[in-house]
């Protein structure tokens, strides 16, 4: 059947159009074939388009993944166009591309280009010595669990700069509860989420006190005249 169909197609292509002096095959050979271009060297990649407003933290969100991407801080408050595919995210203001990032699928995560930081953030970062060692050394003074919790908070972010706000908040809590922060971190390390609110909730609800429970008491039967000694069982 396929052989017969192919034969009939050939006859159809060679038959002239109605009221024309040329056939489909002649039209293709003379007009269309000379302008054909080579096929693409790579597979076609579908792109998605959306719009967003640059937030005060100079990031825009791709709602499909709920992931945030940075743009230069001067575009805060501007509406931008976001073009993304499986590998990249491009952000345009008007016809100008203002940011290009590798796509991340981490929900509620941040992808930040340090060149996009506003000038005052850069100066403040230098003045406050925003770096991992700065916070870890301070946390270590309260105990090993506190230091480990700070490390977990930093590890939870793709860009460590995004964790510094949480670290500053944790430092404030440590200053307010210097005798309780270690127990609170010990309890929080048993969970799966490592952020400022976890420690704040533990302290607010006195859940850290549960970590200080005394060891179970060893109960013994008191001596009295009705108890037979070991000699009774020889």
Which sequence spans correspond to the domains of the chain?
48-116, 128-209
Strand, helix or coil for residue 191: coil
Give the per-residue pLDDT at 218.
Answer: 62
Mean pLDDT lowest among 41-50, 190-199, 210-219, 223-232: 210-219
Average pLDDT value over all residues in the chain: 85
Tokens read off for 206: 């006195």
C-alpha to C-alpha distances, 156 to 4, 131, 165, nearest whole angstrom: 65, 15, 13
Cα 99 from Cα 52, distance rounded (Å): 14
pTM attached to this predicted model: 0.46
Question: pLDDT band for position 209 (50/70/90)?
Answer: confident
* pLDDT tens, residue by residue, 80-112: 999 999 999 999 999 999 999 999 998 877 888
The position carrying tokens 């859940």 is: 207
Is the per-residue pLDDT at 213 higher than 90?
no
Q: Is the predicted pLDDT of residue 129 greater than 50, yes or no? A: no
113-119 mean pLDDT: 82
Taking 90 as the threshold, does the pLDDT of residue 125 lie above it? Answer: no
Q: Does the pLDDT of residue 25 top 90, yes or no?
A: yes
Q: Is the pLDDT of residue 47 over 50?
A: yes
Res. 117 pLDDT band, cuts 50 70 90: confident
Alpha helices (H) in the chain, listed in sequence order? 2-14, 24-27, 119-127, 132-140, 144-155, 164-176, 181-188, 196-204
């Amino acid at each position: 059947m396929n052989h017969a169909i192919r034969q009939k197609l050939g006859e159809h292509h060679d038959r002239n159009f109605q009221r024309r002096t040329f056939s489909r095959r002649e039209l293709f050979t003379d007009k269309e074939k000379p302008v054909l271009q080579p096929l693409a060297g790579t597979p076609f990649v579908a792109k998605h388009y959306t719009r967003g407003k640059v937030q005060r933290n100079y990031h825009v969100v791709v709602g499909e993944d709920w992931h945030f991407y940075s743009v230069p801080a001067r575009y805060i408050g501007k509406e931008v166009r976001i073009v993304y595919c499986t590998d990249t995210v491009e952000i345009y203001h008007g016809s100008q591309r203002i940011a290009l990032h590798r796509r991340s699928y981490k929900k509620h995560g941040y992808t930040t280009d340090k060149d996009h930081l506003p000038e005052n953030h850069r100066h403040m970062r230098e003045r406050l010595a925003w770096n991992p060692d700065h916070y870890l050394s301070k946390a270590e003074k309260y105990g090993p669990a506190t230091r480990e919790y700070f490390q977990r908070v930093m590890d939870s972010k793709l860009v460590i700069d995004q964790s510094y706000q949480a670290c500053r908040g944790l430092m404030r809590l440590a200053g307010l509860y210097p005798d309780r922060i270690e127990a609170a971190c010990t309890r929080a390390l048993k969970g799966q989420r490592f952020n400022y609110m976890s420690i704040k909730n533990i302290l607010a609800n006195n859940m850290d006190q549960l970590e200080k429970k005394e060891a179970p008491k060893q109960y013994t039967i008191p001596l009295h005249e009705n108890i037979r000694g070991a000699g009774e069982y020889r």
